[in-house]
Amino acid sequence: MVRFEDLRIFVAATDLGSFSAAARELDLTPAVASAALKRLEQELETRLFVRSTRSLRLTSDGERYLEYARSAISTLEAGKNAMARDKTDIAGTLSVSIPSDLGRHVLLPWLDEFQRQHPRVNFQLRISDRLADLYRQPVDIAVRYGTPNDSSLVALPLAEHNRRVVCAAPAYLSRHGVPQTPADLRRHNCLSFVLGETLHDRWTFEHDGTSLTIPVKGDRVGDDGDLVRRWALAGHGVAYKSRYDVLTDLRAGRLVELLTGYVSESSPLYLLCVHRMLLSPAVRRLREFLQERFKAFEAG
């Protein structure tokens, strides 16, 4: 049977690059750390490290096993914490990753309201359109658009029926005209979003049961959703945004929704975490609170 302490030593040695450093970190002797690794390798019947007097690196089996070791430690520590706290206590520090545009313009005031209701909750916020590595980074939960590619993550719906919308400022439309069909977008300056290595320059629609994918281009590409929205507001082009990102602008007339006769791409919103045991009372209440706020936001 794999021991919890052996997993901690394995992960610490990986992160710190040596057994001696891992031993110091965990207040153990180097001999104990070395014995733990040997015991773990015997249990798994494989080598986890290639080591010499000067270097330490993971084998391919070690790299594969590291994710499971981290997950096991996280789950066991979460269980320990869950047993130690009052199950009804909405308190503690939540590290939350939120998307750029939605986070700044919609979620921040809602989170302020949540803290007024629950003053014993503290937030540590990370605002970025990149999905935080929930296994490596000190992030408890993430709010993200789209079903996650990583099936090991727990994905709880916040707003399942959200979609993207094509939109532009009235000033842009007065200069360049209003596109009547998705094909018309080829003649417009389209503001594209890039996430990591992926450029989102193919916009998808449905009409009369037929799926349409339109390649678009323009003179501006940004890796921040808030930046793309600001370009659209300034009249620089047409944007393909989550409806929640621009709903306030649409209602105020700062942006105009286009191609309303076509069904645009689904963009559901989820709360993500690595394990259900991390769903503390504070996280569960926050999810309920956000679901309520999105319903009210949609209703106007």
- The pLDDT of residue 84 is 62
Q: Over range 107-132, report the average pLDDT.
A: 93
What are the structural domains of the chain? 4-83 (1.10.10.10), 92-154+268-299 (3.40.190.10), 164-264 (3.40.190.10)
Which residue bears the tokens 């990149």?
A: 130
pLDDT tops 70 at residue 85: no
- Whether the per-residue pLDDT at 204 is higher than 60: the answer is yes
pLDDT at 105 over 70: yes
- Has residue 126 got a pLDDT over 90? yes
Mean pLDDT, residues 236-264 taken together: 97
Is pLDDT above 80 for 131? no
What's the DSSP call for residue 133? -
| Per-residue model confidence (pLDDT) at position 79 | 79
Q: Tell me, what's the pLDDT at 129?
A: 87
Cβ neighbours of residue 83 closer than 8 Å, sequence gap 6 or more: none
By 3-state DSSP, what share of the chain in percent is helix, strand and coil, each rounded to 5? Answer: 45, 25, 30
Query: What does pTM read for this prediction?
Result: 0.69
- Residue 5 pLDDT > 70: yes
Structure tokens at 99: 């998307």
